[in-house]
Structure 1
Amino acid sequence: MRIKALQTLLLLGPSMLLTLLLLVLPLAVVALMSLTDWQFGASTLNWVGLENYVSLWHDDTFHKAFFNTLAYMALVSLGSVAIGLGAALLIESHHSLRGLYRTAFFLPVASTFIAMAVVWQFLMNPNIGLINQVFTWFGAAKHNWLKDYDLALISLAVIGIWQMSGLAMVMFLAGLKSIPVELRHAGLLDGMAHPVDRLFRLTLPMLRPTTLFVVTICGIRSLQVFDTVQVLTQGGPNKATEVMLHLIYTEGFGFLKMGYASSMTMVFVVCIFILTLLQQAAMAKRSRC
């Protein structure tokens, strides 16, 4: 028994040590820092307890960033899942063009967004942008997509969907591959000859675990949105696109209020933890059924 315990410790030791050093220890430091008033570069700090969290409760900017992040997550998750599923089904149904479709839909995932941001800035330019040009062809008015208070967050969500649909597509393709061919043949024998009938009665029910996983992954990645906001809007106009990670960055490295930024970070971590728990609970319920 001692030899087995030693072997187990030797096998798990490196990964446990890395987890401790790279995840647990930094998170513990941030949690402690959130209970102080430390400012970046200061040589001293004061213990303030839960004062930072009380300030968050009354901070309108944080409330705005929090609900903007949730709205962005909802839009991007639903859009990415819908387009990713559609792309996966399209690829599976067109054998001759699979390579082209895979490349086209996965290209945004492999692209460096800082470079692609220049393209999106041009596309959404209020004067010469291609999107506005298309709108004018149909007689619609031009919009300043990234500077309009009502449209800025939706515009960023469209970019987020463009970024994440390829990832969702890959995961749905894996899910489609896991559906036994025998079930599809049985469905044909049972009268599910129409593709739409097979989609709703066979494919989608079999893809429920995959769909749940994709929604969770897309939701967590959507919560982590930062580069889009930093490059294109900087949280504007009038905080319309302010999100949690960008606000944490601004408070911590712009205003140097590391203690306050750490309290925001802990709230952010709790949100991701809750999403993960919900996924695990849903998967466990599914397995019991």
Structure 2
Amino acid sequence: MSRPLALSGASDEPSATSGVRPLTSPEVSAARKRAILEALAAWSLAGPALVLLVILFFLPVLTVFGIALTDWQFGAGSLSSVGLGNFHEVFADEGFRASLVNTLLYVALVVPGTILLGLAIALLIESSRSCRAFYRAIHFLPFMATLTAMAIAWEALLHPTIGLVNQTLVSLGLPTANWLRDESTVLPVLAVIGIWQNLGYAMVLFLAGLKAIPQDLYDAADTDGADLWLDRLRTVTLPMLGPVSMFVFIVVALRAFETFDAVQILTQGGPGHASEMLLFTVYRESFQYLRTGYGAAVAVVFLGIVVALTLIQARVMDKKVHYQ
């Protein structure tokens, strides 16, 4: 009898040209065991942080959202559900709209002012040949100091009669103002205090970014004819500071949105609603007026606005940042 022909590709032996040896059962088992051990190691390292994130962030957020759906008053022993009634009241409240506008204007003043001045001071300190540590410490001190004590100092400086600011203006023959009681000046003054407080933090981060820029890039810029400081700043320094600038922008914006101490100590949201911020509105409604359900609704809206604006800012700036 003739021997039957073998069909192409039906051989049980591995192809000599494939170069791939099939894994045996013990090898497959060992690979799975390694993967399980690696996953367990990863979860054991990330687990504590995830647990803290859930306890310290997600559970409080869910609790606040749950309270926002009720009519609970702080200290009351009972509550009832009102659905989305608190949120409808929030968006119909003129006081909330005023505090929202004030917060956005405050952020629009503080963030660019902090970034520009922080970068300028960092460039000046980096170009200095002496006393760098002293200058860094002096500018970083406001960020480390207690804002409550600093706010009291600012209140003394801005006093309408005996304050140093008005006394200086009088000596120069310039008009004075009641800075913290005038609707036209109170918000810019609070923005100046916010810039002063965050300036040292931005400066330190920009100094770290400047030290990380390779000197070879400046040498190459000089070779290409960019020997003026403005050309070096435009072609080398600013592009290389892109990631640092993005980080400073987001952090300072978050801190500006969360401003509370200066408003509470200096103005109490006045005069009228001229200096009232969203976080102060949450505090006032929840703990002064004891409308905890309504205050929780304001807090939820505030959190949503902050998260949305932060994501938009990060997305827009990320397109302009060059990562090296």
> Which TM-score tier does this pair reach, normalised by the shorter chain?
over 0.9
Whichever residue aligns with residue 121 of structure 2, its letter is: A
* Conserved? CA contact 1:84–1:166, under 8 Å: yes
Larger Rg over CA atoms = 2
Q: Which residue number corresponds to residue 76 of structure 1?
A: 110
Work out whether 1:144 is the aligned partner of 2:178.
yes
Secondary structure of the residue that 2:170 maps to in structure 1? helix
1:130-209 map, 5 Å: 130-209=164-243
Deviation at 1:122, TM superposition (A): 1.2
Whichever residue aligns with residue 16 of structure 1, its letter is: L
Work out whether 1:92 is the aligned partner of 2:99.
no
Whichever residue aligns with residue 267 of structure 1, its letter is: V
Please provide the CA RMSD for this pair. 1.5
Q: TM-score, normalising length from structure 1?
A: 0.96
Q: Which residue number corresponds to residue 75 of structure 2?
A: 41
* Structure-2 change in CA distance of 1:142 and 1:286 (3 Å): closer
Secondary structure of the residue that 1:239 maps to in structure 2? coil
Deviation track 1:7-40 (CA, whole Å, cap 9, x = no partner) reads 2221111111111111111111111111111111
Deviation track 1:166-202 (CA, whole Å, cap 9, x = no partner) reads 1111111122122111101111112222212211222
Q: Separation in 1 of the partners of 2:61 and 2:130?
A: 49
* Structure-2 change in CA distance of 1:288 and 1:173 (3 Å): closer
* Conserved? CA contact 1:209–1:283, under 8 Å: no
Q: Separation in 2 of the partners of 1:287 and 1:115?
A: 38
Considering fraction of residues, name the structure with more helix: 1
Aligned residues: 289
Whichever residue aligns with residue 281 of structure 2, its letter is: L
The runs of at least 4 consecutive aligned structure 1 residues that moved more than 6 Å come to none
The percentage of aligned residue pairs carrying the same residue is 45
* Conserved? CA contact 1:38–1:258, under 8 Å: yes
**Which of 25, 42, 57 is matched with 2:59 structurally?**
25
Q: Separation in 2 of the partners of 1:266 and 1:111?
A: 30
Deviation at 1:283, TM superposition (A): 5.7
Q: Separation in 2 of the partners of 1:172 and 1:202?
A: 14
Work out whether 1:223 is the aligned partner of 2:284.
no
